[in-house]
A and B are shown apart, each in its own frame.
Chain A
Amino acid sequence: DAGITQSPRHKVTETGTPVTLRCHQTENHRYMYWYRQDPGHGLRLIHYSYGVKDTDKGEVSDGYSVSRSKTEDFLLTLESATSSQTSVYFCAISGPPLATANYEQYFGPGTRLTVT
């Protein structure tokens, strides 16, 4: 999985609780992404980062926040989890440190989150 790990791999949580998912890379890639994958919707971008402390919203960012304090780590936080956030979450990385063009994205193994 191109030097990408996600933790936890599985989590069950209750509605209203905060949840943080972690993505860690060892590739020194510039860009990091969080997606969710749901049947009938495919992969949808939640947030992405183009450098340390530089992040931007994706298509489905409501209810999620992110932080990137180090090149290798990108955290996704659900401030107050809802049942609609039950999904499989994938992290992806892309691009060398000084990337100025589009590059392929490499995906982690995913985190299956269930909100009850």
Chain B
Amino acid sequence: GESVGLHLPTLSVQEGDNSIINCAYSNSASDYFIWYKQESGKGPQFIIDIRSNMDKRQGQRVTVLLNKTVKHLSLQIAATQPGDSAVYFCAENIGYSTLTFGKGTMLLVSP
């Protein structure tokens, strides 16, 4: 079957580089945001979340930045590894307990 990764914007990096994946969200009233990673043939995997009362949150090798003024979200991955190659989605809450997802960015990491 056709891969979910086709027709997506692609970010290509070298192993060891830092990666930045960007996402513009649509609803100025959204107050909760999540980044997901999806490897081929698997379900989306939760990476990190952030609520609108924060502008930055750090996890293991990942940082999410939130700019509510311009409705922009970014995911920074430090020291990118080949295992980070996947499609990355941002999601925003569109109502109580429901999310809407961006179309995703494919990250390709070459050794």
Contacts and interface: CB of A to CB of B under 8 A. Distances in A.
Interface of A: 1, 31, 33, 37-45, 48, 50, 58-59, 88, 90, 94-95, 99, 102-110, 112, 114
Nearest to A105: B99
Binding site secondary structure of chain B: loop
Contacts of A103: 97
Nearest to B44: A107
B97 A107 contact: no
Interface of B: 1-4, 6-7, 31-32, 34, 36, 42-46, 49, 89, 93, 96-104
19 contacts: A33-B98, A37-B4, A39-B2, A39-B3, A39-B4, A40-B103, A43-B101, A44-B101, A45-B99, A59-B100, A90-B43, A95-B97, A102-B31, A102-B93, A104-B49, A106-B46, A108-B43, A109-B42, A114-B1
B104 A58 contact: no
A94 B45 CA distance: 13
Contacts, number: 61
Given A39-B2, A58-B98, A107 B45 contact: yes
Contacts of A90: 43-44
Contact of A105 (B7, B46, B104): B46
B43 A110 contact: yes
A11 to B, nearest CB: 13
Contacts of A59: 100
Given A39-B7, A42-B89, A109 B43 contact: yes
Contacts of A102: 31-32, 93, 96-97
B36 to A, nearest CB: 8
A41 B32 CA distance: 21
A99 B42 contact: no
Contacts of B104: 42
A39 to B, nearest CB: 5
Nearest to A95: B97
Contacts of A33: 98
A12 B100 CA distance: 28
B98 A45 contact: yes
A1 B43 contact: yes
